[in-house]
Amino acid sequence: MKVRLGYVAIPYFTRGGYFKTMTYTRYTALSKEERKIKLDQIITYNLNQFYRTLQYNLQNEVYFYRFSHNMIPLATHKSVPFDYIEPYRTTFEKIGEYINYHQMRVDTHPDQFCVLNSEHEDVIKSSKRILKFIDQLYQVMNIDSFMILHIGSGSPNKEEAKQRFIDHFKKLPKRIRAEIILENDDRTFHALDVLEICEELKIPMVLDLHHHWCHPSDIELEELLCRVFKTWEGKSVPPKVHYSSPKSKKEKRAHHEYIDYKKFMNFVHVLKKVGQDVDVMLECKAKDEALFRLVRELKFYEQLNFINMTTFEV
């Protein structure tokens, strides 16, 4: 089986200057013409940074990456209507061609404001705008990608909240439904909660191991992985999991800068029993540096066959 490693968002070479942004307050303080110019400057810069990051990833044989959809500031703000696709179509298409040609896997993760099962209609509408926006990015880049969602609100109780998510999910456009995968969280919806929803909706699940350790469900990890991986049957990419180490015993929910490679290998041994190719997204504060350090440790301490700089066989 093959294990491919990836990282999230901010590579080392752009540290401190990855994506530029603009708040709505700043936007409203500008004149109409200044708004247009500033937004264009920011979007142009961010798309170029995205492309440079993909080039950097290729140089380092990183083929699994999560980008930030915030590279288009204010795109989902209901009071800021502007065309964020057509003026940049050529650049988007170039990025998509690069991703497809080099067989990269990229995805994105809407932030905590995307709550599809909220009890508030305005939050639901905002969440749908976010999902539509990400779908439009995927379409213009011509890439087959997923967006990762948490179930969201647990109010007034988990069972009602789960059903509310299912009801709203079923009302989404078919194309967006096909792009959504669900993830367990560390406080409300544990892995088995999410798995049951995914099995009912017939959509893939990503297991977050860190969240699972913080908020476990009553099921053995090997059995859990088998069921989670089964939700990916028929997909063109392997199942994915999220992996990170806790910052400390006191701050167990916070992410560490790096990965505890010994515990990571314990997880790899469980994976080996399951026997399924898998993509592992490392959610570490040190981003790509955490990935490269883990690779160095694995090569030094373990007998693993590395296919390239970030993919190994067990």
Q: What is the pLDDT of residues 53-72, one digit of tens each?
A: 999 999 999 999 999 888 99
Instruction: Please give the C-alpha separations between residue 62 and each of 33, 96, 195, 279, 313, in angstroms, as whole numbers.
Output: 40, 16, 29, 11, 16
* Signed CA dihedral, 164, 165, 166, 170: sign only: positive
- Residue 9: is its pLDDT beyond 90? no
pLDDT in tens, 184-227: 999 999 999 999 999 999 999 999 999 999 999 999 999 999 99
pLDDT in tens, 65-110: 999 888 999 999 999 999 999 999 999 999 999 999 999 999 999 9
Q: Residue 146 corresponds to which tokens in the numbers above?
A: 């997923």
List residues bridging with 3 in a β-sheet. 278, 312
Stretch 267-280: mean pLDDT, rounded? 97
Residue 16 pLDDT = 63
Neighbour tally for 271: CB within 10 Å: 21
